[in-house]
Amino acid sequence: SQKIEQNSEALNIQEGKTATLTCNYTNYSPAYLQWYRQDPGRGPVFLLLIRENEKEKRKERLKVTFDTTLKQSLFHITASQPADSATYLCALEGGGNKLTFGTGTQLKVEL
């Protein structure tokens, strides 16, 4: 069956460092992958979309890579700030334009 894995353990980093979050998937060949941010008690907020024919996408301090051979996406936040603290969700195209989400990785940026 299809499986999407994100680090279930929280990631704690110092302000100014680069945070790197991982999304691995199996039994799946998605046409695209998306990353969302979710704050406690709030809805997911779209950050970036990367398509299967794209290796890398950037938006301001965010960078996403997509390796369809490794079946992995990496999400980077450079020059991290305490305001970046949130849970980050990986979501894959699940067929029929629906999204299949991972469990998310909680990021905490400390001063």
Partner 1 sequence: EPEVTQTPSHQVTQMGQEVILRCVPISNHLYFYWYRQILGQKVEFLVSFYNNEISEKSEIFDDQFSVERPDGSNFTLKIRSTKLEDSAMYFCASTEWTSSSGNTIYFGEGSWLTVV
| 80 or 88: CB nearest partner 1 | 88
| CB of 61 vs partner 1, minimal distance in Å | 19
Q: Report the residue number, 14 or 103, with the smaller CB distance to partner 1.
A: 103
Burial of residue 36 (CB within 10 Å: 0-12, 13-18, 19+) is buried
With residues binned 3-state (H G I as helix, E B as strand, rest as coil), the percentages for the chain, rounded to 5, are 5, 55, 40
CA distance 35 to 88: 7
Interface with partner 1 in residues 92-111 (CB under 8 A) = 93-94, 96-104
Stretch binding partner 1 (CB under 8 A), from 12-20, 32-40, 58-66, 69-77 = 32-40
The verdict on 34 binding partner 1 (CB under 8 A) reads yes
Please return the burial class of 77, using the count of CB atoms within 10 Å of its CB with bins 0-12, 13-18 and 19+. buried
Cα–Cα distance for residue pair 49/55, rounded to 1 Å: 11
> Binders of partner 1 among 49-68, rule CB under 8 A?
49, 51
Applying CB under 8 A, which residues contact partner 1? Answer: 31-32, 34, 36, 38, 41-46, 49, 51, 89, 91, 93-94, 96-104
